[in-house]
Amino acid sequence: SANASPSGQQPTATYDSAFLKACRREAVPHTPVWFMRQAGRSLPEYRKVREGVPMLESCMRPELVTEITLQPVRRHNVDAAIYFSDIVVPLKAIGLDLDIKPGVGPVVEQPIRTRADLARLRDLTPEDVPYVTEAIGQLTCELGATPLIGFAGAPFTLASYLVEGGPSRTYENAKAMMYGDPGLWADLLDRLADITAVFLKVQIEAGASAVQLFDSWAGALAPADYRHSVMPASAKVFEAVAGYGVPRIHFGVGTGELLKLMGEAGADVVGVDWRVPLDEAQRRVGPGRALQGNLDPTVLFTGKDTVEAKAREVLDAAEGLEGHVFNLGHGVLPTTDPDALTRLVEYVHTRTAR
Ligand code: 1CP
């Protein structure tokens, strides 16, 4: 398979890609680049194929998923593709009454607030998500040597939507459960860890070469609360996929104080937002892990010279790292000029060519 280790055999083209080498902290021909949310609304070709198709429905159509996932690879020459889906897809797949509302995000009709509500979170099985296996099979064929990153939402970030009922800035209901009913909270996160682990396994078994766990909103937590009330569930997810030998990436926003713990949860690569320079992030994370990041996505709204100067600051801070995957500090903003992204890939490749 594309993920086979080279023991005794010829390594595959995917295994030898700059992206997977950087994740494994091996020497690379150039610093690999991909962008969180590289598929999606910044691309006119995406807006065209999505016309009239609701977000969650688009995630369940393998032909569409394949096309949307490939669009940024064709256009930008990025070093990895990310499977087009959403963090709430496995929750929809187990029958929860949720939707992704345009301009809002995931909305849950009946939030999970009590022990009785937990019963609605049944186990995920591979049969619940046949479209994932089908789309990834098609994609790994079409991508050839370009690795495909699978992903899932981490238990805390999923819980934030389930308990709040939708996007939130303060997570007051979720955090009130965490502080006020720690037994229920632990059981909720444990159920979500099991669902997430199955969702990642399905993607790896279908051919994904790496996985990223998005704990986008973990930055809302103090380190002691993260360690005690969230990290065990995320660690369970990472442990469940450890045996596949594919790199595991762990990302969150505003997580400067959590970087060490996010590595210790079981990540091979720690994603860093733009608030902490990569050299300082590596000191916080410690040795033995690669870093991914961390250009501020708003920099792309400036001219070419400023983009290059700011990208160079990121590359300079990454100079002594064991492994570096260039990325933005969070997702591509929808109004970003796609040509600015294409030029940025070219700049990073040229500047770091060895
Ligand atoms: O109709 C649309 O196009 C809706 C916009 C959209 C898209 C394109 C949503 C709704 N999800 C997605 C796809 C998506 N979601 C991808 C694949 C695109 C790519 O990376 O190329 C990925 C990786 C996600 C993951 C995701 N969804 C995260 C984690 C990443 C992050 O940005 O931190 C989160 C938090 C979500 C929830 C979500 N889904 C959609 C929105 C608008 C949101 C955020 C809502 C909020 O602010 O809480």
pLDDT mean over 178-183: 98
Is the distance from the beta carbon of residue 80 to the nearest atom of ligand 1 less than 6 Å? no
* Radius of gyration, alpha carbons of the chain: 19
pLDDT value for 40 = 92
- Give the mutation target among 34, 36, 87, 327 for probing the ligand 1 site: most ligand atoms within 8 A of CB: 87
Residue 217 covered by a domain: yes
Longest dimension (CA), the chain: 58
β-pair partners for 149: 82, 210
The answer to whether residue 330 sits within a structural domain is no
Helix (H, G, I), strand (E, B) or coil at 233: helix
Ligand 1: residue whose CA is nearest its atom 19: 37
Report helix angle 304-317 to 278-285, nearest 10: 30
pLDDT over threshold 70, residue 9: no
227 touches ligand 1 (CB under 6 Å): no
- Distance of CA 82 from the midpoint of ligand 1 (Å): 12
Ligand 1 mean position, distance from CA 86 (Å):
6
Whether residue 184 has pLDDT greater than 90: yes
Residue in 50, 227, 275, 351 annotated catalytic: 50
Enclosing domain of residue 260:
34-284
Give me ligand 1 centre to Cα 84, in Å.
10
More confident residue, 39 or 4: 39
CATH code of the domain containing 190: 3.20.20.210
Q: Which of 86, 99, 292 to mutate to test ligand 1, by most ligand atoms within 8 A of the CB atom?
A: 86
pLDDT digits (tens, 9 = 90+) for 85-123: 999 999 999 999 999 999 999 999 999 999 999 999 999
- 42 CB under 6 A from ligand 1? no
- How many domains are there within the chain? 1
Alpha carbon distances (Å) from 184 to 5, 112, 247, 249:
41, 11, 32, 28
Which pTM does this prediction carry?
Answer: 0.96
* Predicted pLDDT at 12: 78
Q: Is the pLDDT of residue 1 over 50?
A: no
| Residue 316 is assigned to a structural domain of this protein | no
Summarize pLDDT for 247-302 with one digit per residue, the tens: 999 999 999 999 999 999 999 999 999 999 999 999 999 999 999 999 999 999 99
pLDDT (0 to 100) of residue 93: 98
CA angle centred on 252, ends 247 and 256, rounded to 5°:
110
Average model confidence (pLDDT) across the chain: 96
Atom number of ligand 1 nearest to Cα 161: 48
Answer whether residue 221 is part of any domain. Answer: yes
47 is an active site residue: no
Question: Is residue 310 scored above 80 in pLDDT?
Answer: yes
Average pLDDT over residues 39-56: 97
- Ligand 1 centroid–CA 100 distance in Å is 9
Model confidence at 65, pLDDT cuts 50, 70, 90, reads very high
Q: Which residue of the set 16, 24, 41, 225 is catalytic?
A: 41
> Which residue is it, tokens 């709430």?
88
- Mean pLDDT value across residues 149-160: 98
Structural tokens at position 174: 């979720």
Whether 234 contacts 258, CB under 8 Å: no
Q: Is residue 11 part of a domain?
A: no
Ligand 1 center to 305 CA (angstroms): 29
Return the pLDDT at 3.
53
Task: Calculate the alpha carbon distances from 227 to 153, 213, 232 in Å.
Answer: 18, 17, 7
Residues placed in the known binding site for substrate? 37-41, 86, 161, 216, 330
What value of ipTM does the predicted structure carry? 0.91
Span 3-13, average pLDDT: 54
Burial class, 254, CB count within 10 angstroms (exposed 0-12 / middle 13-18 / buried 19+): middle
Alpha helices (runs of H) in the chain, residue ranges in sequence order: 18-23, 44-50, 55-59, 62-76, 89-93, 115-118, 130-143, 155-164, 172-180, 182-206, 223-229, 231-240, 259-264, 278-285, 304-317, 338-352
% of the chain at pLDDT higher than 90: 96
Q: Are 318 and 338 in contact (CB under 8 A)?
A: no
User: What pLDDT, on a 0 to 100 scale, did the predictor assign at position 253?
Assistant: 98
- Who's near 311: CB < 8 A, 6+ residues apart? 295, 299, 326, 344, 347, 348, 351
Over residues 168-178, the mean pLDDT reads 98
Whole-number pLDDT of residue 13 = 84
Contacts of 301 (CB under 8 A, 6+ apart): 333, 335, 336, 337
Identify any residues that bridge with 41 across adjacent strands, giving them in sequence order: none
183 pLDDT higher than 70: yes
Query: Which residue in 86, 215, 268, 273 is the catalytic one?
Result: 86
| pLDDT score, position 11 | 57
**Does residue 10 sit within a domain?**
no
Tokens coding 228: 């005690």
Active site includes 97?
no
Number of Cβ within a 10 Å radius of residue 131: 18
User: DSSP labels for 111-170?
Assistant: ---SHHHHTT-PPP-GGG-HHHHHHHHHHHHHHTTS-EEEEEE-HHHHHHHHHHSS--SS
Q: CA 335, CA 99: separation in Å to the nearest integer?
A: 23
Give the model's pLDDT for residue 231. Answer: 98
Please check whether residue 303 lies inside any domain of the structure. Answer: no
Tokens representing 287 are: 């040795």
Taking the C-alpha atoms of residue 101 and residue 311, their distance in angstroms, rounded to an integer, is 34
Pocket flag, ligand 1, residue 87 (CB < 6 Å): yes
Q: Is residue 312 part of a domain?
A: no
Q: How far is CA 21 from CA 32, 325, 328, 353, in A?
A: 9, 10, 19, 15
